[in-house]
Amino acid sequence: DTAVSQTPKYLVTQMGNDKSIKCEQNLGHDTMYWYKQDSKKFLKIMFSYNNKELIINETVPNRFSPKSPDKAHLNLHINSLELGDSAVYFCASSQEGGLRPLHFGNGTRLTVT
Amino acid sequence: EDQVTQSPEALRLQEGESSSLNCSYTVSGLRGLFWYRQDPGKGPEFLFTLYSAGEEKEKERLKATLTKKESFLHITAPKPEDSATYLCAVQERSNTGKLIFGQGTTLQVKP
């Protein structure tokens, strides 16, 4: 029974296309995140939602738009994909209250050609 | 600027050969420091949270310690199944839940 699940696991697409990545958590957590991991395995936060409200929005191109239809789901839509968007994108969730460990999904490897 | 630096980037050990991984951090106000383990093709898996200098946490062959400027992950008598990338992350006092990660140490334990 997967706690944080992301789809798809692999995504290969061409420059200029628009794509979405979906994330769902069944842990009952209040907060969800999107992180980007580059080729050097460096994880950097992109967005965070708490109870469907955006609370963290790092310096990310506005081609990236998160959407949270409910507190169990946080999707990531990317417009006009660029080569530099190639990376592994991780969804995560945690209980509200800070200092709570993040539970990560297994990532979506995005390759832009 | 808040920063987390891990060393070494890569570490090869023989089975049973104990060692330590380092995580140095600079943050305006530390709320907590986290250690995660990441296997290839998987998301990071939570190991420990440390809250204050002097604190230690243990789990099987792993022990994490914290000072005011760095944390160590000690691995005692490692086994091949301990091979993974170990990530350190800090949370600062803004209480947004944001974690700042280091680049990780990739550990390979040979039988």
Residue B14: what are its φ and ψ, rounded to 5°? Answer: -85, 150
- The pLDDT assigned to B56 comes to 97
CATH number of A4-96: 2.60.40.10
Comparing A29 with B94, the larger pLDDT belongs to A29
**pLDDT tens column, A79-89:** 999 999 999 99
Alpha carbon of A44: minimum distance to chain B alpha carbons (Å): 7
**pLDDT tens column, A18-51:** 999 999 999 999 899 999 999 888 899 999 988 8
Domain ranges of chain A: 4-96
Q: What fold is seen in the domain B3-110?
A: Immunoglobulin-like (2.60.40)
Check if B97 contacts A (Cβ < 8 Å): yes
CB contact under 8 A, A106 and B32: no
Check if A43 contacts B (Cβ < 8 Å): yes
Q: Mean pLDDT across the stretch A52-74?
A: 89
Residues 6+ apart with CB under 8 A from B57: B48, B49, B50, B63, B64
Residue B21: what are its φ and ψ, rounded to 5°? Answer: -110, 145
Output the average pLDDT for chain A: 92
Closest by Cβ to B44, choosing from A56, A99, A104: A104
Query: Rounded to an integer, what distance in angstroms lies between the CA atom of residue B81 and that of residue A83?
Result: 35
Strands B62-66, B45-50: parallel, antiparallel or unpaired by DSSP?
A: unpaired
pLDDT grade for A97, boundaries at 50, 70 and 90: low
* Closest chain B residue to the Cα of A54, Cα to Cα: B96
- The pLDDT assigned to A44 comes to 93
- The pLDDT assigned to B105 comes to 97
Amino acid letter, residue A60 = V
**pLDDT tens column, B47-68:** 999 999 999 999 999 999 999 9
Q: Over pLDDT 70: what percentage of chain A?
A: 96
Check if B34 contacts A (Cβ < 8 Å): yes
What distance lies between CA B11 and its chain's CA centroid?
13
Per-residue pLDDT for B95 more than 70? no
Whether the bond between B8 and the residue before it is cis, its omega within 30 degrees of 0, is: yes
Per-residue pLDDT for A1 more than 80? no
Output the average pLDDT for chain B: 94
Q: Mean pLDDT across the stretch B85-103?
A: 86
- Planar angle of CA A78, A82, A87, nearest 5 degrees: 75
Q: Mean pLDDT across the stretch A100-106?
A: 93
